[in-house]
Amino acid sequence: MLVTLVMAAFANAARPTNSARFPAPVDGLLTLCFSEDDCLPAIAVDDGVDGGCHDLPSFNESFASASLSATGLECILSPESGCLGGFAVLLATAGTVEISALGIINVASYLCTSDVDVVDFCWPEVTMGCFQSSTITNGCANLTRFTEAFASVLLTTNGTQCTFFQDPGCAGPSGLVTEASVTIDLGTLDMSNVMSMNCTNNN
């Protein structure tokens, strides 16, 4: 899924200098703050499948908190560029969250995905959470690459079935999943990861 990142007002790496408190969030806004009145707003838009990780400008100071105002979205935050080096999942329902409470020390990149008609790809450690991808693939769709392999998959929508592939381009070992709301361990499909998929919806 292609996630379009628009840096609102701060296209370069300069720190925000306006001392006035940042206005109330609008729908679709991810806000990363150094302090209560010193924030970097960015708009994350989930544009379907074939997504990518987006790097943030580099600052001398780490972000202290994050909040997400985005109906139907969740964001994966990473302390390193390229969405590497650990992950934290930020939900819109969480409100303003301290970065340290998410188990990471800073946010250098992030990726937002839809939570509607999706498949959950979960990592082996519970604290790492899950990555979500749209099941509207229109053929074969490659997933965003992460350093950690997925351990399980879960379809969220009845009537959707997906064939998951261990390699990009819908190649290599594969497994078909047709039942929604059931967590499937990739080991039961004789797979060690998922890097691409092809889904259809019968609704």
SS3 letters across 62-128 = CCCEEEEECCCEEEEEECEHHHECCCEEEEHHHCCEEHHHHCCCCCCEEEEEECCCEEEEECCCHHH
At 37, is the secondary structure helix, strand, or coil? coil
Query: Which residues, other chains included, contact 100 with Cβ-Cβ below 8 Å and sequence gap of 6+?
Result: none
Q: Tell me the C-alpha distance between 85 and 138, whole Å.
A: 31
pTM over 0.75? The answer is no
- Residue 9: the pLDDT is 31
| Residue-averaged pLDDT of the chain | 79
Average pLDDT over residues 159-186: 94
> What 8-state DSSP symbol labels residue 157?
S
Q: Tell me the C-alpha distance between 101 and 188, whole Å.
A: 34
124, 162: one domain:
yes
11, 33: one domain:
yes
CATH (domain of 76)? 2.60.20.10
Per-residue pLDDT tens for 95-141? 899 998 887 899 998 888 766 667 888 888 766 778 878 787 778 98
Closest CA to 170 of 196, 200, 137, 136: 196
Domain that holds residue 196: 116-203
Q: Point out the domain boundary residue: 114, 142, 168.
A: 114
Per-residue pLDDT tens for 133-169? 878 777 898 888 888 899 999 988 888 899 999 999 9
Q: Which among 4-13, 36-45, 189-198 has the top mean pLDDT?
A: 189-198
User: What is the tally of structural domains in the chain?
Assistant: 2
pLDDT at 85 over 70: no
- Residue 115: the pLDDT is 63
69, 152: one domain:
no
- Residue 166: the pLDDT is 97
How many CB atoms within 10 Å of residue 188? 9
pLDDT at 51 over 90: no
Pairing, β 88-91 against β 97-98? unpaired
Closest CA to 50 of 168, 177, 193: 168
107, 15: one domain:
yes
Q: Point out the domain boundary residue: 114, 139, 162.
A: 114
pLDDT at 36 over 90: no
Q: Point out the domain boundary residue: 81, 96, 114.
A: 114
Which pLDDT band holds residue 52 (cuts at 50, 70, 90)? Answer: low
- Residue 126: the pLDDT is 65
